[in-house]
Each structure stands twice: as C-alpha cells, then as structure tokens.
C-alpha cells in the first residue's frame, strides 16, 4: 500500500530549495535528481548541502558501508538518481530511518531522436506519446505496428545484441539474418520518428501539449515523465513493518510544469486517488509528525518492546473471488505477488499492510442442485422443502456439466473433473490463516457462491466475512477490507429460490414441450417464453408493415423521409422520376435555442442496447467483454440496474473533463438515489486511446489481453459516462414543414451548436439551416422496409427492463437460449426473427400453459423474488406455492 503524502512546490532555484527543505526536515532524507540531469548534478546538489553543514554523500553504486553509516545517522541524507535502475531508488529498505524523499526536479526521461542513441524501449515511449498528434488513422495504425514490432523483436534480443545492432548502425555496417531484420526495423523507426518530428504541425502540437516538451532544433529531444522511477524512489519512504505500512513523504520540486502534469496524469493509473498537495509549512509539519510517530513505533518493535495495540494488527486471511483474472488483478495491486499451486489451484500471496492475503478463485459456482433426488433435486419434508446440493462435475471431452454424485461421464465414460478439489484446496489454506474473506461478485449469484464456500470452510477457520466491491481496484478493495460484513442470507435464499424455480419449471414445462414435439433439445421457461412471444409477434407485424421509404435530398442538402404504402415497381419508378424533377416548397420554418442534457450513464440494459446499435455486438458477446473489463479493473460491475454515480465516479469525470476541456464543461450529476449499486463506468480518468497507449508502453499490465472489441466497448462506456457528467449543450433546433408533391412532410433537427457541452464527447448530428421558399430536389433514394422493424437484441432487453421481466444477470442468458434452441435467428444485420419452430412452440405453450408463462405471472414472480431478497417474505412460502403450481403442470396433458 502506498501511504505517502505527495507534495509539490515550484522553485526558481531547485538546489536552494533542496537545502532549505533538508534544513527544515532534518536527517533521514533521500534526494533524487532527475535522470536527464545526470551525475554532475548529483554532485552539485551534494556539494550545496555539504556547504550548508549537512552530513551528506552521493549514492550511485550499491555500498553497504554507506547505508550502514546512513542508518546510524552519520549521514543525514543521500543523493542519487531517480530512476528505477538507480541503487538509491531500489535497494534501500530502512523503514526506521528513511523519513522523506525530495525530488530535485520532476523525474523524467529525455528521448533523443539520434539513431546513435536509439533504444527500442524509448522509441516505444515516444511513439505512444506522438500517437495523439498524428492526423490520419493510417498513421496511427503505423505507429501501433511499430510499437508492436519493437516490443516483439526487442523482447527476443539480449541486451548485448541490441547494443551490437546500434553499434553496427553507427558504423554503417549491414547485419544479416534475424538481427539484420531488427536492424532494418530500428533504422526505419528512427527515420519515421524523425520525419514526424520535422513536421511543423506536430512540433506545434507538442509545444501546445500540457505534458510533452521538445528541446533543441537540429538534434531534438522529447521530455517525458518517469512515473516508474518516481514510484520506486518515493516508495523508499513508506515500508512494511510488523505494525503495517509506515507513513512516508515525497516532495517534488517542479522544474518543468509539463513534466509534472504528465507525471500526475500517468500516476493516476497506478494510484487511483493520487493527490499532490502544494507544500506549506503547516502541512509539512503535520505530515512529518505522523512520519516520526511511525518511526518511533518501528524502533520500539525492533527493540522488542512490543506495544499491545500492534500485537494483532496484521491478520492472515484467505480471500476467495470468482475468476482467475480477478484474483490476478487483485494480486498485482500490492507489488509482485508470491505465487503457489495447491491441488492444481493457483494461490497468490500478498500483503496489504493490514492483511497478509492468500487470494484464489472459486471459478464460478462450486455446488448445484442434484437431479436424482426428491422432486428434481428438492426433497419435500413435513411441509418444508430441502434443496439437495452436490459439487459440480465436468467432462472435459463432452464439455457437459453434472451435479449428481457420479464419477464417470454418462456419455463417454471419462473420469469427471470435480469442483470438490477447489474446496479441498480452500480447506488447506483456511487451516493456515486467521480468517476467510469472501470477495465474490456483488449480487445474488456471488452471495450464494460465498455462502457455499462459507459452509464448507466453517469447521476449518475462526472467522468468515463477506467483502463487497463493485470495481476491481485497489481503492475499492481497501475500502471493502475496512467494511467486512456477514453473508446476507436473504440474498442467498432468493438465489436458491430462483434456482429451484428454474429447475422445476424447466424440467416440467420443457418436458411437456419435448413430449409434444418429440425433440429433446427444446425448452420453455417463465422468462424465456414471454420474451419469445414478443419476438414472434414482432416478426409477424414486421412482415405486415412493409412500406416504401423515400429519402429525398433537397438542393440545400436537407434530407427528408416520407413513407408510402407498398407500390408496384413500375409505378414507384415513375413516382421517383417525378420526384426528381419536382420543386418542393418549404413552409413554416421555426428555429429556437434549446438546452439539451446528456443521457444518463449506462445500466446493463442500456449498455447492451447501445453496443448492439453502435458496435453491432450481440448481447452475449457484450456481456463477456464487459466481464473481462470488470475483472481486469477497468470498469465497475457490469450487472446493474442502477445509473447512480458515486463521489469517486464524479471525481474521475471531473478530472478528465478539467484536464481535457476545462472546468466550465464539468457538471457533476448523481443520476440516482444513494444506494449500494452504481452505474457502469470507468474506474480511472483514462480514455480508450490513452489506455491503448499505456498498454503499448507496458505501463499498464492487465491480467488479460484486450482485443480491439474490448477497447471499443470500453470507449463506448467511457464516453457515455463522461458525457453524463458534462454541461448541457445549447443547440438550435429547427422544425420545418415541406410540401413535396401532394404531401406535407415534417422535418426536425439541430442546425447549430451555440455552446458545446457534452457534445464535445458525444457529437450530435447537424442538419442544414433552411429558409421558406422553393427548393429543387437533388436526389431521391428508396428502400422497402417495415414501419415496425424487427427487434434488435438490445431492444428486446429494453422491453424486459421496462416490463420488469428478467434481471441484469439474466438478460443475455435468455436471448442466447432462444437462439440456441433455434426459436429465433439473427439476420445478417443482427435483427431477431422468430422461426417457424419458435412460433409453433410459443403457440402451443400459450394455448396450453398460459397461466404459467404469461407476462403477468412472470412479473409477479420476479417481484416475489425481490421481496425475498429484501426479507419481506419467506422463501419457503414461495417454494410451497410454486410446488403446488408445478404439480398442476405435471398433471396436465401434453
Ligand atoms: Zn464425457
């Protein structure tokens, strides 16, 4: 954990400022000089300190003797370079001695374009930084390719081989084979970079950029901040000890405004809530008091005078999450994790300061209802019901899943893989630790997985707690660790109820359908069937509502659309010819200034709808992509009904908006009542372009590789969220009536942006301004289409949400079931069409079992489940009611 107060100050004379600060703060300091200033500057700073009577030495090579003297106080401060390779930044672990770090200038790297100084790692940094400045997509793509090639090839080379290539370029010597190819790549990249930087507009953009600077005319160098160096160096002041993590202090003396801006911006990736405070005497005293208090504690602990309040401060705990990527993401929050294998399960070990955590993944549900006992897995007993669960088994060959206690696959005879081994591994770890923390996803499914694990581990551990976080970030995890709670049994009961209901209705109703149509691959369901009904209905209506659509472009470029009934081809062509020759009359033009507000941020249904509309992504794929983005820590939990924005969310947006367009464009909005859940939003003020750069640079290392589709969805979520926190836009709205032949056509649209707001990130489509009078027709386009078009997946989900049928966790599942059963198919344009099979099955269910599959029944049941969740009704009562109802289905004729 980083427990460091970050401060900055601007100084005209950096060296004087260093001396003044050291005098104020005393011994136990580390002074870091930016890498670009070099060894001479290290010496200069040390001399200035010495001249003021401070005991100081330079530290440029690892020397135990110097450290020992520093520890004893014979040296008050050490001076060295701020770079992750510098011994002063990496090798020092003296928690009782190091009190503060002073950066004599912002840690930064200068990148030369000289081919003789070519380094692939630096070329990558430069390319990624210049990507924002090129004007065409083609050049952006070229940059991506150079970055990818440089990373790949230099990763295959040893350091001395890179050295040799650079030397041979200097000597003008041509190399052969693989390293010859790499040599070509280096030369090509260097030439490309030089060409880019010779362009006037790019040089201007660099000069205008708040982050980058360029120095020198004939041999230009680009200056970029060194985030890794800063983190490594400042980290020396805050170390782990038996009582937790000690408080540290880092002061940056700003010698370059741009490098400092860049440093703060990139730090946001590493530390979500990084905050630099301007240095003041009072603040400095306050922090150093805390620093010294911790040093005092460390010394007492070292001397064996253990203070009672620190005895149990570091607890060991097992943290169980659902997915391996989530486990890996969390493990990386606190430096490099220790990794071990247990029963084929990966366990990460890390220290958060308050906890030593063993982190592992349950890989989804561990238990499921059996099928062979009781009534489809539920045993009736004296008027109550006991659901019987067993571990989930999987056949690798058939990819089938079973819950009954069997060992061999009933289809192929292979030995099944049993999720019981996860429980075995968890038991082993539980025995070693003080407590178990359940960190599964924050919904009913996650609660049930957690409850199962808690039941299984209860005999092996003293304490089991649930922690809940809606984003996989360090900040959220630390917050959650501070607020552990008990497992919410009501949520668990609601999930059990849902599972039983699914199972019973699935087995019984599906059984009827299967018998009726003599096909084992058919199914029915409470949510599935009404949704199928909508699609069947819409498919029919869509066929009946085919009309001719005419798009008429006027000479003033205004486009208007008019719809007429189905017309024979010859007649239609005649009409179009006539239209093309005609003159229209624009009447009644009205224009007014309107204020338009942005749409709210995404909840699950809106995200699915927009991803389907704009990115042409199916709902199943969107959910998978969103799951990945959540698990690697980029977005908040993606199964949510809420559009609420938390304080942290508002701050993220504000940071981004202020940075990009200025304060006046920010307008924080909460969008909803205080509650546990939140909208889907990014976890950092980093847009998709910047994210791609940081990944290319290796600054961001995610637990999973992102594809262009992941980035496209992230971009959609990011822009929508930022827009929702931006000022309204002032637009001119135009309404006009146009006489076309014998028709009166209405036209509506925005013609002008008077004052931009959210439109900066979500552009609006503008139409031309028109005035009353005659205008000729320029062009006519025609197509035949239904006025009630086929549904997209996104539209169906909107109806589900509006009607209260299905929940964020089931939206995608329902549609994919309908598609798998071939009740519904997707057109090439991703529209949903009900098949003949779908219609037949639906008609049968509607006529025979309407009572069980009607919208009303489904909605009522969903509401009852919500009430179980909120503890308002007893889940056993609902099960009893369902049971008698299902029995009626069982008795009905197929
Ligand atoms: Zn099998």
If you measure from the C-alpha of residue 405 to the centroid of ligand 1, how many angstroms do you get, rounded to a whole number?
A: 15
If you measure from the C-alpha of residue 516 to the centroid of ligand 1, how many angstroms do you get, rounded to a whole number?
A: 28
pLDDT at residue 492 in the model: 96
**Residue 621 placed within a domain:** yes
pLDDT at residue 309 in the model: 55
Task: Please report where in the chains the tokens 């486009």 appear, as a residue.
Answer: 559
Nearest to 768 by CA among 749, 751, 746: 751
Token pair of 848, please? 């025979």
pLDDT at residue 155 in the model: 76
Burial classification of residue 221, based on how many CB atoms lie within 10 Å of its CB (0-12 exposed, 13-18 middle, 19 or more buried): middle
**Residue 717 placed within a domain:** yes
pLDDT at residue 243 in the model: 67
pLDDT-derived band at 885, boundaries 50, 70, 90:
confident
Give the separation between CA 544 and CA 462, rounded to whole angstroms: 67
> 273 and 473 in contact (C-beta within 8 Å)?
no
Q: What is the CATH number of the domain that holds 532?
A: 1.10.460.10
Domain shared by 74 and 15, yes or no: yes
DSSP 218: S
In the set 389, 637, 811, 823, the catalytic residue is 637
**pLDDT single digits (tens) 74-115:** 999 999 999 878 889 887 888 889 999 999 999 998 887 777
β-sheet bridge partners, residue 444: none
β-sheet bridge partners, residue 851: none
Q: Which residue has the higher pLDDT, 851 or 464?
A: 464
SS3 of 792, please?
strand
If you measure from the C-alpha of residue 394 to the centroid of ligand 1, how many angstroms do you get, rounded to a whole number?
A: 8
pLDDT-derived band at 307, boundaries 50, 70, 90:
low
β-sheet bridge partners, residue 82: 34
Q: What average pLDDT does this structure show over 37-52?
A: 94
If you measure from the C-alpha of residue 408 to the centroid of ligand 1, how many angstroms do you get, rounded to a whole number?
A: 8
β-sheet bridge partners, residue 500: none
84 is a catalytic site residue: no
Question: Which of 75-89, 270-284, 557-571 has the lowest average pLDDT?
Answer: 270-284
If you measure from the C-alpha of residue 397 to the centroid of ligand 1, how many angstroms do you get, rounded to a whole number?
A: 5
If you measure from the C-alpha of residue 392 to the centroid of ligand 1, how many angstroms do you get, rounded to a whole number?
A: 14
**pLDDT single digits (tens) 146-178:** 888 888 787 788 888 888 898 898 888 898 888
Domain boundary among 279, 302, 325: 302
Give yes or no for residue 769 having a pLDDT over 70.
yes
Give the separation between CA 867 and CA 875, rounded to whole angstroms: 9
If you measure from the C-alpha of residue 48 to the centroid of ligand 1, how many angstroms do you get, rounded to a whole number?
A: 76
pLDDT-derived band at 343, boundaries 50, 70, 90:
confident
Question: Which of 51-65, 207-221, 420-434 has the lowest average pLDDT?
Answer: 207-221
Give yes or no for residue 846 having a pLDDT over 80.
yes
DSSP 116: G
If you measure from the C-alpha of residue 402 to the centroid of ligand 1, how many angstroms do you get, rounded to a whole number?
A: 10
Domain boundary among 224, 240, 258: 224
- Each residue of 607-617: b (16+ CB within 10 Å) or e? bbbbbbeebeb
SS3 of 136, please?
coil
Give the separation between CA 702 and CA 856, rounded to whole angstroms: 45
Nearest-10 crossing angle of helices 177-198, 137-156: 140
pLDDT at residue 194 in the model: 86
Give yes or no for residue 222 having a pLDDT over 90.
no
Give the separation between CA 31 and CA 89, rounded to whole angstroms: 10
pLDDT at residue 166 in the model: 87
Q: What are phi and psi of 218, to 5 degrees?
A: -85, -35
Domain shared by 219 and 249, yes or no: no
Give the separation between CA 416 and CA 612, rounded to whole angstroms: 38
If you measure from the C-alpha of residue 522 to the centroid of ligand 1, how many angstroms do you get, rounded to a whole number?
A: 21
**Residue 385 placed within a domain:** no
| H or E stretch at 873 | none
Q: Which residue has the higher pLDDT, 208 or 615?
A: 615
**pLDDT single digits (tens) 591-646:** 999 999 999 999 999 999 999 989 989 899 999 999 999 999 999 999 998 999 99
**Residue 677 placed within a domain:** yes
The strand order across the sheet containing 221-225 reads: 108-112, 221-225, 213-215
Q: What is the CATH number of the domain that holds 231?
A: 3.40.50.300
Give the separation between CA 12 and CA 351, rounded to whole angstroms: 41
Domain shared by 116 and 101, yes or no: no
Report the half-sphere exposure of 18 (CA within 13 A, side-chain side): 32
Q: Which residue has the higher pLDDT, 681 or 243?
A: 681
Give yes or no for residue 438 having a pLDDT over 60.
yes
C-alpha pair distances (Å), 99 with each of 31, 94, 271, 319:
11, 9, 21, 33
Domain encompassing residue 13? 4-107+227-302
Token pair of 211, please? 């982050």
Instruction: Look at the alpha carbons of 646, 678, 713, 795 in this order and tell me if their dihedral is positive or negative.
Output: negative
Q: What average pLDDT does this structure show over 58-62?
A: 88
Q: What average pLDDT does this structure show over 447-457?
A: 95
pLDDT at residue 470 in the model: 93
pLDDT at residue 310 in the model: 52
Task: Please report where in the chains the tokens 């808690």 appear, as a residue.
Answer: 454
Give the separation between CA 777 and CA 552, rounded to whole angstroms: 7
pLDDT at residue 49 in the model: 96
Mean pLDDT, the chain, integer: 90
Domain boundary among 302, 317, 348: 302
Secondary structure of 601-645 as H, E, C letters: CECHHHHHHHHHHHCCCCHHHHHHHHHHHHHCCCEECCCCCCCCC
Q: Where are the beta strands (DSSP E) in 180-307?
A: 213-215, 221-225, 240-241, 244-245, 248-254, 276-278
If you measure from the C-alpha of residue 566 to the centroid of ligand 1, how many angstroms do you get, rounded to a whole number?
A: 55
Domain shared by 720 and 821, yes or no: no
Give the separation between CA 363 and CA 631, rounded to whole angstroms: 13
Domain shared by 636 and 503, yes or no: no
Domain shared by 191 and 291, yes or no: no
Q: What is the CATH number of the domain that holds 716?
A: 1.10.290.10
C-alpha pair distances (Å), 730 with each of 415, 598, 812, 832:
67, 11, 37, 38
If you measure from the C-alpha of residue 416 to the centroid of ligand 1, how many angstroms do you get, rounded to a whole number?
A: 8
pLDDT at residue 425 in the model: 92
β-sheet bridge partners, residue 552: 560, 780
Instruction: Give one DSSP letter per residue of 242-265, joined into a string.
Output: TTEE--EEEEEEES-HHHHHHHHH
Domain shared by 804 and 865, yes or no: yes
Instruction: Say what percent of the chain tops pLDDT 90.
Output: 57
Domain shared by 127 and 21, yes or no: no
**Residue 638 placed within a domain:** yes
Rounded to the nearest 10°, the torsion over CA 400, 401, 407, 413 is: -10
pLDDT at residue 790 in the model: 95
Query: Terminus-to-terminus CA distance in the chain, angstroms?
Result: 63
Domain shared by 294 and 147, yes or no: no
Length of the chain: 894
Give yes or no for residue 356 having a pLDDT over 80.
yes
If you measure from the C-alpha of residue 401 to the centroid of ligand 1, how many angstroms do you get, rounded to a whole number?
A: 9
SS3 of 341, please?
strand
Domain shared by 673 and 654, yes or no: yes
pLDDT-derived band at 772, boundaries 50, 70, 90:
very high
If you measure from the C-alpha of residue 399 to the centroid of ligand 1, how many angstroms do you get, rounded to a whole number?
A: 7
| H or E stretch at 682 | none
**Residue 378 placed within a domain:** no
DSSP 104: S
Give the separation between CA 669 and CA 749, rounded to whole angstroms: 27
Q: Which residue has the higher pLDDT, 731 or 267?
A: 731
What is the number of domains present in the chain?
Answer: 5
**pLDDT single digits (tens) 502-556:** 899 888 999 999 999 999 889 998 899 999 999 999 999 999 999 999 999 999 8
SS3 of 562, please?
strand
C-alpha pair distances (Å), 315 with each of 244, 345, 351:
10, 23, 10
Domain shared by 95 and 12, yes or no: yes
Rounded to the nearest 10°, the torsion over CA 752, 754, 759, 761 is: 110
**Residue 256 placed within a domain:** yes
> 222 and 119 in contact (C-beta within 8 Å)?
no
Q: What average pLDDT does this structure show over 38-65?
A: 93
> 262 and 222 in contact (C-beta within 8 Å)?
no
If you measure from the C-alpha of residue 389 to the centroid of ligand 1, how many angstroms do you get, rounded to a whole number?
A: 21
SS3 of 274, please?
coil
Domain shared by 711 and 581, yes or no: no
Give yes or no for residue 62 having a pLDDT over 90.
no
Give the separation between CA 791 and CA 794, rounded to whole angstroms: 8
If you measure from the C-alpha of residue 525 to the centroid of ligand 1, how many angstroms do you get, rounded to a whole number?
A: 27
Give the separation between CA 271 and CA 309, rounded to whole angstroms: 29
Burial classification of residue 894, based on how many CB atoms lie within 10 Å of its CB (0-12 exposed, 13-18 middle, 19 or more buried): exposed
DSSP 473: S
Q: What is the CATH number of the domain that holds 570?
A: 2.60.510.20
**Residue 747 placed within a domain:** yes
């Amino acid at each position: 954990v980083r427990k460091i107060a970050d401060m900055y100050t601007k100084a005209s004379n950096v060296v004087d400022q260093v001396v003044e600060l050291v005098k104020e703060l005393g011994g136990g300091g580390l002074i870091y000089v930016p890498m670009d200033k070099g060894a001479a500057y290290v010496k200069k700073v040390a001399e200035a300190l010495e001249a003021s009577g401070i005991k100081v030495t330079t530290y440029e090579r690892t020397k135990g003797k110097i450290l020992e003297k520093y520890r004893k106080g014979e040296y008050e401060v050490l001076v060295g370079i701020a770079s992750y390779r510098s011994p002063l930044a990496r090798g020092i672990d003296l928690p009782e001695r190091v009190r503060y770090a002073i950066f004599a200038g912002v840690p930064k790297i200068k990148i030369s374009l000289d081919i003789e100084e070519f380094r692939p790692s630096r070329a990558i940094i430069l390319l990624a930084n210049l990507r924002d400045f090129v004007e065409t997509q083609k050049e952006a793509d070229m940059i991506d390719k150079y970055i990818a090639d440089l990373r790949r090839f230099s990763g295959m080379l040893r350091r001395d081989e890179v050295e040799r290539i650079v030397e041979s370029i200097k000597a003008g010597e041509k190399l052969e084979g693989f390293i010859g190819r790499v040599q070509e790549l280096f030369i090509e990249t260097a030439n490309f970079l030089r060409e880019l930087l010779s362009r006037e507009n790019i040089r201007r953009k660099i000069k205008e950029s708040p982050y980058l600077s360029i120095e020198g005319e004939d041999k230009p160098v680009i200056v970029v901040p060194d985030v890794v160096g800063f983190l490594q160096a400042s980290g020396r002041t805050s170390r782990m000890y038996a009582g937790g993590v000690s408080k540290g202090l880092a002061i940056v003396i700003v010698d370059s405004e741009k490098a400092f801006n860049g440093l703060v911006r990139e730090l946001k990736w590493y530390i979500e809530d990084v905050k630099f405070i301007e240095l003041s005497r009072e603040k400095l005293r306050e922090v150093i008091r805390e620093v010294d208090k911790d040093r005092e504690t460390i010394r007492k602990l070292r001397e064996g005078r253990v203070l009672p309040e620190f005895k149990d401060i570091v607890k060991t705990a097992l943290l169980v999450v659902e997915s391996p990527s989530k486990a890996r993401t969390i493990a990386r929050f606190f430096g490099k994790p220790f990794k071990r294998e247990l029963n084929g399960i990966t366990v990460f070990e890390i220290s958060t300061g308050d906890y030593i955590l063993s982190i592992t993944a349950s890989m989804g549900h561990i238990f499921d209802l059996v099928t062979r006992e009781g009534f489809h897995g539920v045993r009736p007993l004296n008027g109550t019901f006991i659901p019987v669960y067993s571990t989930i088994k999987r056949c690798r060959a058939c990819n089938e899943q079973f819950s009954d206690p069997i060992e061999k696959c009933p289809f192929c005879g292979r030995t099944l893989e049993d999720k019981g081994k996860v429980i075995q591994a968890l038991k082993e770890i539980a025995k070693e630790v003080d407590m178990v923390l359940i960190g599964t996803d924050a919904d009913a499914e996650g609660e049930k997985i957690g409850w199962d694990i808690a039941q299984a581990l209860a005999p092996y551990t003293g304490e089991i707690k649930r922690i809940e976080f809606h984003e996989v970030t360090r900040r959220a995890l630390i917050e959650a660790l501070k607020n552990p709670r008990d497992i919410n049994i009501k949520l668990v009961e609601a999930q059990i109820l849902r599972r039983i209901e699914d199972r019973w209705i699935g087995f019984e109703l599906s059984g009827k359908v299967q018998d009726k149509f003599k096909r084992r691959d058919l199914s029915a369901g409470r949510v599935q069937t009404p949704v199928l009904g909508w699609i069947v209905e819409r498919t029919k209506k869509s066929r009946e509502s085919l009309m001719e659509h005419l798009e008429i472009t006027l000479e003033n470029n205004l486009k208007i659309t008019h719809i007429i009934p189905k017309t024979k081809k010859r007649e239609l062509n005649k009409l179009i010819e006539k239209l093309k020759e005609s003159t229209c009359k624009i009447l009644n033009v009205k224009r007014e200034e309107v204020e338009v507000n942005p749409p709210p941020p995404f909840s699950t249904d809106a995200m699915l709808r927009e991803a389907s509309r704009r990115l042409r992504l199916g709902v199943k794929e969107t959910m998978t992509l969103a799951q990945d983005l959540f698990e690697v820590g980029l977005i908040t939990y993606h199964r949510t009904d809420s559009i609420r924005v938390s304080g942290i969310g508002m701050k993220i947006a504000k940071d981004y908006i202020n940075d990009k367009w200025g304060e006046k464009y920010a307008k924080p909005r909460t969008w909803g009542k205080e509650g546990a859940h939140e909208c889907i939003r990014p976890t950092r003020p980093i847009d998709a372009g910047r994210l791609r750069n940081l990944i290319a640079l290796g600054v961001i290392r995610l637990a999973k590789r992102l594809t262009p589709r992941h980035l496209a969805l992230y971009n959609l979520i990011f822009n929508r969220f930022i827009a929702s926190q931006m000022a309204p836009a002032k637009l001119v709205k135009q309404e006009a009536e146009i006489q076309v032949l014998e028709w009166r056509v209405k036209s509506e649209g925005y013609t002008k942006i008077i004052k931009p707001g959210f439109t900066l990130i979500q552009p609006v489509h503008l139409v031309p301004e028109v005035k009353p009078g005659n205008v000729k027709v320029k062009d006519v386009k025609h197509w035949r289409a239904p006025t009630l078009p086929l549904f997209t997946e996104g539209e169906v989900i909107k109806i589900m949400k509006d009607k209260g049928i299905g929940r964020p966790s089931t939206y995608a599942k329902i549609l994919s079931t309908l598609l798998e059963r071939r009740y519904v198919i997707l057109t090439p344009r991703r529209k949903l069409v009900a098949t003949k099979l779908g219609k037949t099955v639906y008609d049968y269910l509607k006529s025979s079992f309407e009572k069980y599959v009607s919208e009303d029944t489904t909605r009522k049941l969903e509401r009852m489940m919500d009430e179980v969740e909120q503890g308002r009704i007893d889940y056993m009562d609902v099960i009893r009611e369902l049971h008698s109802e299902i029995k009626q289905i069982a008795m009905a004729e197929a």
